Amino acid sequence: KAGVTQTPRYLIKTRGQQVTLSCSPISGHRSVSWYQQTPGQGLQFLFEYFSETQRNKGNFPGRFSGRQFSNSRSEMNVSTLELGDSALYLCASSPRGSFDTEAFFGQGTRLTVV
Amino acid sequence: GENVEQHPSTLSVQEGDSAVIKCTYSDSASNYFPWYKQELGKRPQLIIDIRSNVGEKKDQRIAVTLNKTAKHFSLHITETQPEDSAVYFCAATSGGYQKVTFGTGTKLQVIP
C-alpha cells in the first residue's frame, strides 16, 4: 500500500506570492489533516478534512485555506506569503478521524519564503 | 482550547539508561494520547498511543502512562539505544471530531 504522498517536496517563493501544496492520502483513508512544523513552535494543527468537508480548524489566519476532493486528495493554499510562513508543511491521513486512531504522515513540503 | 505542555525540550542519556518524557494537557475531555517519533529529516511516526480508559500501555521497551486526574501522561523508554535518538512529540485529542494538539517536542540524544 502506498504511503501518504506530498508534492512538491521543496518550494521557494517570494513574499506576497501564493502557494498550493498537495497531499495524496493512503488509499481508503478519508481524513486528511495539515500541520505546520517550525523549530520554535513544533507541530501546529492547521485544519482537517473528511469527505470533502473541513471538520476542524486550528488558529491560523484566513490566508491559510484548504480543500479536499472526492478522491480524498487534499490541497492547502497559502496566499500573500510572509517570511514567517517558511516551514515544513506536513499532512497526515487516517481512516476516519483526525486523531482517534493512528495517523500516517507524509514526508512534508519544505516551503521557504524569501 | 487544548494546551499541551511537554518536558524536557532536550534530553541526553547514556545508552542502556531509561528516558522519561512528560506531557500535561488542559482539556479534561481529551481522550486519545499518541506519541510520535521523528528522526532527523523524516516524517513523524506513531510509536505508541493510549486512550483515556487505560492507565498504562507497554510495547517492548516503550511504555506510556496516563493520569487522568492530574491530566498528565508520560513516555518511558527503557534500555535506550542510539537509534532511539530522535524528536518525540506527545499529542492530545478531544472533541467530537478529534481536534489534535501537539506538544513542542523533546529531542532525545542517546550517547553510545
Taking an 8 Å cut-off on Cβ atoms, the answer to whether A43 and B102 are in contact is: yes
Spatial contact of A5 and A24, defined as CB atoms under 8 Å apart: yes
Chain segment B14-38, per-residue pLDDT in tens: 999 999 999 999 999 888 999 999 9
Taking an 8 Å cut-off on Cβ atoms, the answer to whether B1 and A56 are in contact is: no
Instruction: Give the per-residue pLDDT at A113.
Output: 98
Taking an 8 Å cut-off on Cβ atoms, the answer to whether A48 and B93 are in contact is: no
C-alpha distance from A13 to closest chain B C-alpha (Å): 21
Instruction: Give the per-residue pLDDT at B93.
Output: 86
Spatial contact of B65 and B48, defined as CB atoms under 8 Å apart: no
Instruction: Give the per-residue pLDDT at B2.
Output: 81
Of A41, A55, A100, the CB nearest to B93: A100
Which chain A residues touch B if contact means CB-CB below 8 Å?
33, 35, 41-45, 48, 50, 55-56, 59, 90, 97-100, 102-103, 105-108
Chain segment A12-37, per-residue pLDDT in tens: 999 999 999 999 999 999 999 999 99
User: Rounded to whole angstroms, how far apart are CA atoms B72 and B25?
Assistant: 6
Instruction: Give the per-residue pLDDT at A102.
Output: 79
Spatial contact of B44 and A105, defined as CB atoms under 8 Å apart: yes
Instruction: Give the per-residue pLDDT at B97.
Output: 56
Residues of chain B with pLDDT under 50: none
Residues of chain A with pLDDT under 70: 1, 97-100
